Structure formats: C-alpha cells, structure tokens
Structure 1
Amino acid sequence: MSGDLGPLVITRRSGSEPIRANGETVGRLGDFWSWACSDLANNTMRGVLAEYLVATALDAAAGTRTEWDTVDIRTPEKWRVEVKSTAYLQSWTQPQLSKVSFHIAPTSGWDTHTGTTSAEVRRRSDVYVFCLLHHQDKQTLDPLDLDQWTFYVLPTPVLDEHCPNQKSIRLSSLERLNPLKTDFAGLQKAVAACAEGMR
C-alpha cells in the first residue's frame, strides 16, 4: 500500500475512455455518463449543471469540479462563488409546481488537501449565484436551454447581514435583498459587479 494518501490529481476526461473487464472493453465512460446523468431535472444533477453553467459564464470551467470544496467555483480573478439552484418543475409526478427556495445555511469548511473540517461555521464565498430554472411547462422543459433559466447574484455580505443564521430563503425574500437579476449572457458582468463592490 502506498504511503501517499493525499488528494488524487483529477484530470479531465473525454467520455471515450474504455470501461474494461479482463482486458476487454465492455463500455465507455460516456455510456456511464449517459446512464447516470441524463436526468438534468432532478435536484442533484440540476445543481451540478447550474454550477457548470455559472463556471462557464465566468471562464472557470476549464478544469474539473471539486466535490466538497468550501465554495463551488473559484474564478481566474480569485472570486469565490457559491451556486444554488432550484426549479418549479421536478422529474417526478407533482401535484403542483414546487415552491421556490434556496439553501443558504452557513457551513463548516472542508479542506480537500488536509482532509479536515473547520470548526468555524460561516459562508465562505464572495458572491452567491441563485439559479432558477423558471420554466413551468413540463412538456417543453429543457435545462440545457439557457433561456429557461434566470440568475440572481448577491454579495455574500448582504446575506450575512440580513440572514446571518438562516438556512433557506424564498424567492420573494431574496428579491427584497435587491440581487442583480440576469440571464446567462449578463451573468459574468453581474458577478463582477457584486464581487468587486460596484453595485
């Protein structure tokens, strides 16, 4: 057994990598991705997609996603961005549209390099990006259509001031904090304005 148990170096994969058994190819990584990740409307995958969309808008999607990092995205400008997502529509049968709310609870911080958790509970980002998949027609829902998304950007200190220990926030309450509301095309500018204090 190796004595080095530090973090793995994760390299970006293409999807063409073989899945092997006894030296024989039995599938491709892309097959696994299609099997595991095609439901983009469920809470887990929609959240990962939202992170990717924000990272793409901020030119921060070149590498790979770090699971359990203290913030979701670190930009070339050193901005620390937390991404939250929600939607009116879910994959499963719904009696009505889902109520829109976002998780905003302060958390302890996990350090992937040391494998330790900080005892201090707080919000560690500079900016929050709240991603709402606002589309409300289930037959035409397409999370890959960015016209079906609305983004709300807020400096983290605003949350800390108005919602210091709050665990979640409804859309109506979020709007009262005057976030910058934008489509995908305006997301980079909105994050820059909040991160640099130019509101």
Structure 2
Amino acid sequence: MTQALGAVPPRRRTGDEPVHLDGAAHGNLLGFWAWAYSGLVGNTLRGALAEYIVALALGVAHGTRVDWDSVDIRLPGGRQVEVKSAAYLQEWGQSRLSGISFSIAPAEGWNAVTGEVEPNRLRRADVYVFCLLKHQDKETLDPLDLTQWTFYVLPTAVLNEYRRDQRTLTLSSLLALDPVRSDFAGLRAAVLAPGHGHAP
C-alpha cells in the first residue's frame, strides 16, 4: 500500500534565501519575487494583492496565503472572509475603461490539508469584501497606494438571499445591495461589524 503524502504547508520567507548550487548563491528569493511578481495590475496578482491588503487591515497578514483554499481569510474566532477584486485599468492596452464585475459564484470547497474537494457548491465565507482599484489614470496608477482603492463589505447572507444563483455582480448591482463602503482605515471595523457571521 502506498503511504499517503501529506500537505506541504507554505513557510513564510524573508526574501534573503539564496538560489544556490553546491553552496554558492546565484540569486535570492527577493530577486525571484521582483522578477515574477512585479505586475500588480494584472488580474491574478491584483487579486492576491487585494487579499493581502484586506489581511493587513484585519491584522492577520503575518502568516502566508493558501492557494485554492475554500475561503480567502480565516480570522481568529471563526469568521471567514472572501475577497474579490476588480479594476478600471488593465496591464494591456485599452480603448476604454473596463467595466466592473466581481465573481460571486458558489463553488466547491477544497481542503488544503487533506487535498479533498467538498462537492457542495456554496459561498462558504461569512462576509465578502469587494476591492475596487478605482484609479483611472495609467500614468499615476499605483496598486500599492491604498488611497486608490475603495472597499465594499457585504454579508454573504445578503448575496444568498438576493443573488443566490448569480455568478457575477456588476458594481451597480453591488451598490443596489447597500454594502458598507469603506477606505482602508475603516475596513477592519466594517468586516467585524455585528451581523457578519461568527463573532470575531
């Protein structure tokens, strides 16, 4: 019988770790990060950056991101947060600003420890944070500037009641659901407000 292979949990690194051969450094992890992950405007990295920004606001950015987990952020006390991002500006050439749309489709869950899929399609988080990179000038676009973001916080229960089977949500449809609009400074209070699921 083949023994099951356990998970390899991510270990938080500093960036100083060398890329090495026979004890000789040929680069370091920070160099790799700069080479591979400087394109913060692209959809994939912008989404990861949005998760990090929300984790910073919630005081839980000390760990590591778990790819493909069933929710994006797990808070002490059990509250679970789903983070979605969108932007008017893309990294490619545009003839006009992008329309704003967020994915809200119920999905299967994946257990990062066991590697097993939970087949029921659900929205597993208690609260959604919709992160809009609102800046509209490419010359001055800076996703690291928190003033260029606006955040909308909505309990998952509202989505399930009014948009149960919907897979995407435009900005106008989101605003019709009366989310809490916040800047970075107010985001923690908005997410931890009563009525968003588990107690903090």
Q: Which residue of 1 aligns with 2:79?
A: 79
Q: Give 1:60 deviation, angstroms.
A: 1.2
Looking at structure 2, the residues matched to 6 and 77 of structure 1 have their Cα atoms a distance apart, in angstroms, of 26
Alpha carbons of 1:197 and 1:125: their partners in 2 closer, same or farther (altered >3 Å)? closer
Q: Which residue of 2 aligns with 1:183?
A: 183
Q: Which residue of 1 aligns with 2:10?
A: 10
One-letter code of the match for 1:175?
L
SS in 2 for 1:195: coil
Q: Which residue of 2 aligns with 1:42?
A: 42
Partner deviation per Cα, 1:40-92 (whole Å, 9 max, x = no partner): 10000000000000011111111100111100000123210000000000111
Q: Give 1:196 deviation, angstroms.
A: 5.3
One-letter code of the match for 1:116?
E
Looking at structure 2, the residues matched to 77 and 135 of structure 1 have their Cα atoms a distance apart, in angstroms, of 35
Looking at structure 1, the residues matched to 118 and 76 of structure 2 have their Cα atoms a distance apart, in angstroms, of 25
One-letter code of the match for 2:91?
S
Does 2:95 align with 1:104?
A: no
Q: Which residue of 2 aligns with 1:153?
A: 153
Q: Which residue of 1 aligns with 2:137?
A: 137
One-letter code of the match for 2:179?
P
Contact 1:37 1:45 in 2 (8 A): yes
Looking at structure 2, the residues matched to 148 and 83 of structure 1 have their Cα atoms a distance apart, in angstroms, of 17
Partner deviation per Cα, 1:5-53 (whole Å, 9 max, x = no partner): 1111322100000001233211000000001110110000000000000
Unaligned 5+ runs, structure 1: none
Which segment drifts farther, 20-29 or 78-87? 20-29
Looking at structure 1, the residues matched to 115 and 197 of structure 2 have their Cα atoms a distance apart, in angstroms, of 31
Contact 2:69 2:110 in 1 (8 A): yes
Looking at structure 1, the residues matched to 43 and 140 of structure 2 have their Cα atoms a distance apart, in angstroms, of 18
Looking at structure 2, the residues matched to 149 and 77 of structure 1 have their Cα atoms a distance apart, in angstroms, of 27
When the two structures are aligned, how many residues end up with a matched partner?
Answer: 197
Unaligned 5+ runs, structure 2: none
Partner deviation per Cα, 1:125-149 (whole Å, 9 max, x = no partner): 0000000000001100000000000
Q: Which residue of 2 aligns with 1:69?
A: 69
Does 2:126 align with 1:126?
A: yes
One-letter code of the match for 2:160?
D
One-letter code of the match for 1:25?
A
User: Over aligned residue pairs, what C-alpha RMSD do you find?
Assistant: 1.6
Which segment drifts farther, 150-159 or 186-195? 186-195
SS in 2 for 1:99: coil
Could you list the structure 1 runs, at least 4 aligned residues long, displaced by more than 3 angstroms after superposition: none
Looking at structure 1, the residues matched to 128 and 196 of structure 2 have their Cα atoms a distance apart, in angstroms, of 10
Q: Give 1:4 deviation, angstroms.
A: 5.5
Contact 1:108 1:117 in 2 (8 A): yes
| Higher RCO (CA-CA < 8 Å; seq separation 6+) | 2
Alpha carbons of 1:4 and 1:117: their partners in 2 closer, same or farther (altered >3 Å)? closer
Q: Identity across aligned pairs (percent)?
A: 55
Contact 1:55 1:61 in 2 (8 A): yes
TM-score by length of 1: 0.95
